[in-house]
Structure 1
Amino acid sequence: MDIRPLRTEEDYKAALAAVSALVDADPAPGTPEGDRLEILSLLVERYEDSHFPLASPDPVEAIKFRMEQQGLKASDMKPYIGNTNRVYEVLNGKRALSLSMIRRLHAGLHIPAEVLIGAI
């Protein structure tokens, strides 16, 4: 098995092609092809993490996205944020999230805390 670190874009593209072919072949875990797929996937993931980092989403946009996903209205956010005025202030970016709001949003709506903490 000739696997080496991905150092260039050409290495990355070659690894992507190999991963694609292996995914199409659907090798069983624990087989040489399955092991190759697993290792190449880890190398591709590491390369992408270092060369194409994703910025954390804006906390308010994450809240709005979850509201849209769950069909929630501003009035539904009162248990997590506070009175209606406070909800609108947060959603319009005029008020920062407090630690207690972050805890309630994380526990109740399962928004990752690390996304919400960006608001502090």
Structure 2
Amino acid sequence: MTVTLNKLEYGALLVDIQPKVITTEEENDRALSIVENLLAEEKLSPEKEQILRLLVSLIEKFEDQHYQLAASTPHSTLIHLMEERELRQTDLVGIIGSRGVVSEVVNGKRPISKAQAKSLGSFFSVDPSLFVNW
């Protein structure tokens, strides 16, 4: 389905917003602010929807080039999931082993075994391979 845009409304939005290739943090922050404002609106016109899509593409391109994510390790994945769900080490006792084993795994003193990876994958409802070094 092709959406027909009101050229006057779309043109007015382009003049007001002046989207362009993002090259600085300030430009990225400005684009993010506009996106947030658009997302806060209950119903976007087709013209605003197109502007939103354009800005998101520009932001993604900038962030892909400037924010390289470090490769995640099994340990950092575990810590992240625990923090995200506000879990403590005691919550993993019985899932991946005794209190001592859990402490060693969580503190990075012991690698996560394949059996523990399966248990963690099931517990967190994620792919167990996230917890295995390749």
Q: Name the TM tier (shorter chain).
A: 0.5 to 0.7
Which among 42, 51, 72 is matched to residue 57 of structure 2? 42
Cα deviations by residue, 1:65-117 (Å, 9 ceiling, x for unpaired)? 5445344443x323331233322221232211112211211221235656433
From the superposition, tell whether residues 4 and 94 of structure 1 become closer, same or farther in structure 2 (CA, over 3 Å). same
Instruction: Give the RMSD, CA atoms, in angstroms.
Output: 3.5
2:64 is aligned with what amino acid? D
Structure 1 alignment gaps of length 5 or more: none
Aligned to 1:91: 106
Alignment coverage as a number of residue pairs: 116
Letter in 2 for 1:6: V
What TM-score comes out, normalization by structure 1 length? Answer: 0.64
The alignment-based identity, stated in percent, is: 24
The one of the two structures with greater contact order (alpha-carbon pairs below 8 A, sep at least 6) is: 1
| Deviation of 1:50 (Å) | 2.1
Displacement after TM superposition at 1:41 (Å): 0.9
Letter in 1 for 2:49: G
Task: Return 5+ residue gaps in structure 2 as ranges.
Answer: 1-10
Letter in 2 for 1:17: R
